[in-house]
Amino acid sequence: MFEGLSGRLGDIFDRLRKRGALSEADVGAALREVRVALLEADVALPVVKDFIDKARERAVGHEVLRSVTPGQQVIKIVHDCLIEMLGGTPGEMPDINAPTPINLIAVPPVPVLMVGLQGSGKTTTTGKLALRLKDRDNRKVLMASLDTRRPAAQEQLKILGEQIGVTTLPIVPGQEPLAIARRALERGRLEGFDVVLLDTAGRLAIDEELMAEVVAIRDATKPTETLLVADAMTGQDAVNVARTFHERVGVTGIVLTRVDGDSRGGAALSMRAVTGQPIKLIGTGEKMDALELFHPDRIANRILGMGDVVSLVERASQTIEKEDAEKLAAKIQKGEFDLEDLASQLRQMRKMGGLQGLMGMLPGVGKIKDQMKTAGLDDKMIKRQEAIISSMTPVERRNPKIIHAKRKIRIAAGSGSTVQDVNKLLKQHQQMADMMKRMKKLGKAGMMRGMPK
């Protein structure tokens, strides 16, 4: 459905092959594409503008790593910016064993207010959160529905409670929301509950009456958390919803639902930007256990609509040492490329996750991957080739032409392969060496830009 950002950037940077620092022009061209990607992901316009300015500031003048293209480098910078704006730290994954990120530091029963529009998944999320707090955090949880408007709302929560084994406040017909909230806290106190989840009523759209009701409940209960439950599919409207709730009620965290759907997750960025409050959890399905910690990293990937180019750039920067690359470039310039060099290339490839790993990180290569498999180009092949090369003597590696039939049999036996495999490797090396000789004319820069995109 969406064309990946990296694909589009690829076109721009195909024309841009120079090294060194990113110029204003490079960055400008790339950021125009990033802007389109963000809008397609439904990030609200003012948030997009703000983001692009930040990314530009960061990217201009940034060095381009040797082993990646300027396009990939810009994506990485944009991606890091995005993670930070989503409240994360690039390269850091949330600890899945950490306690649920809900502030429960207060005298129990701790009130937690669930707010949001009708249909956002508020009641479902209340149930999911209750289950999580009970099972993972060992809390005794009471749930209460304050929704007296929607006829079946209180009933719905009660049924959920029975399903997940969490107590709900008994329904008293005709009682007003504020009175229900007070009763819930009273009951929580009397029966030793740790947490009381208050599921407020929603509306189809924001209206004054709703805000006033939620504010009154907030003032009466003084919750430690007011969680805004919002649908990830909310597009440009996400900003209005988040802003109004935050201005009127004071949101302390956001729970994004339906992240399992095919939205691109732009609402996450919009809501976080407008409220400055963290996205604490995400709903990833209709089942009661489908509530997960928020991974800024994953949402960033999704918003940018790309394969994992980012980890490619990260791994490249970790594994490809500058000196190695320079040594190789110097050799190539002299038209030399022996089997030692091939072995070191294979090693590097393996470090970067092997052929499959590398290909898997690039968007849109599924088909090529299959073709490679049928052609026998897989990670086993890389290992086999490394084994063959290590069965040769150093002299043979530097000058493969001296390897004769008898030696080939020995090398094959020593590496657990066949003479055909050895021949294939030698032929492949010869082809690469020939190609490198031709590239000599193009000079040092030509080769290093030849990394697959």
Annotated binding-site members for GTP: 116-123, 199-203, 257-260
Rule CB under 6 A: say whether 260 interacts with ligand GDP: yes
Answer for which of 6, 67, 154, 257 binds ligand GDP (CB under 6 A) is 257
214 and 249 in contact (C-beta within 8 Å)?
yes
Instruction: Calculate the CA dihedral of residues 168, 171, 176, 178 and round it to 10 degrees.
Output: -20
CB of 320 to ligand GDP, least distance (A): 40
Rule CB under 6 A: say whether 124 interacts with ligand GDP: yes
Paired strand residues for 145: 199
Which CB atom, from 56 or from 128, has the smaller least distance to ligand GDP? 128
Paired strand residues for 226: 113
SS3 336: coil
Which CB atom, from 121 or from 307, has the smaller least distance to ligand GDP? 121
Rule CB under 6 A: say whether 121 interacts with ligand GDP: yes
CB of 234 to ligand GDP, least distance (A): 12
Which CB atom, from 69 or from 257, has the smaller least distance to ligand GDP? 257
187-216 binders of ligand GDP (CB under 6 A): 202
10 Å CB burial of residue 147 (0-12, 13-18, 19+) is: buried
d(CA 319, CA 344): 12
Answer for which of 91, 119, 394, 416 binds ligand GDP (CB under 6 A) is 119
CB of 422 to ligand GDP, least distance (A): 55
Count of CB atoms situated within 10 Å of the CB of 422: 24
Rule CB under 6 A: say whether 301 interacts with ligand GDP: no
Q: For ligand GDP, which residue has the nearest CB?
A: 283
User: For residue 79, which of 248, 263, 296 has the smallest C-alpha distance?
Assistant: 296
Rule CB under 6 A: say whether 122 interacts with ligand GDP: yes
- Region from 253-261, 353-361, 363-371, 440-448 binding ligand GDP, contact rule CB under 6 A: 253-261
CB of 147 to ligand GDP, least distance (A): 8
138-197 binders of ligand GDP (CB under 6 A): none
Which CB atom, from 283 or from 400, has the smaller least distance to ligand GDP? 283
Rule CB under 6 A: say whether 285 interacts with ligand GDP: yes
Residue type, position 74, single letter: V
CB of 263 to ligand GDP, least distance (A): 11
User: For residue 288, which of 139, 133, 154 has the smallest C-alpha distance?
Assistant: 133
Rule CB under 6 A: say whether 67 interacts with ligand GDP: no
d(CA 86, CA 273): 8
- Region from 113-121, 212-220, 404-412, 430-438 binding ligand GDP, contact rule CB under 6 A: 113-121
Which CB atom, from 34 or from 303, has the smaller least distance to ligand GDP? 303
Rule CB under 6 A: say whether 288 interacts with ligand GDP: no
Answer for which of 72, 73, 123, 167 binds ligand GDP (CB under 6 A) is 123
How does DSSP assign 228-280, residue by residue? EEEETT--TTHHHHHHHHHHHH---EEEEE-TTSS---HHHHHHHHHH-PPEE
Helices then strands, each counted (H, E), the chain? 21, 8
CB of 294 to ligand GDP, least distance (A): 13
Size of the site for ligand GDP (CB under 6 A): 18
Ramachandran angles phi, psi of 137, nearest 5°:
-105, 0
Count of CB atoms situated within 10 Å of the CB of 53: 11
Answer for which of 57, 92, 286, 370 binds ligand GDP (CB under 6 A) is 286
In this structure, is the dihedral angle defined by the CA atoms of residues 388, 389, 391 and 396, taken in order, positive or negative? positive
ω into residue 278 within 30 of 0, thus cis?
Answer: no
Which CB atom, from 291 or from 362, has the smaller least distance to ligand GDP? 291
Count of CB atoms situated within 10 Å of the CB of 58: 17
CB of 49 to ligand GDP, least distance (A): 29
Residues sharing a CB contact under 8 Å with residue 396, sequence separation 6 or more, in sequence order: 339, 402, 403, 407
Binding site for ligand GDP (CB under 6 A): 116, 118-124, 202, 257-258, 260-261, 283-286, 290
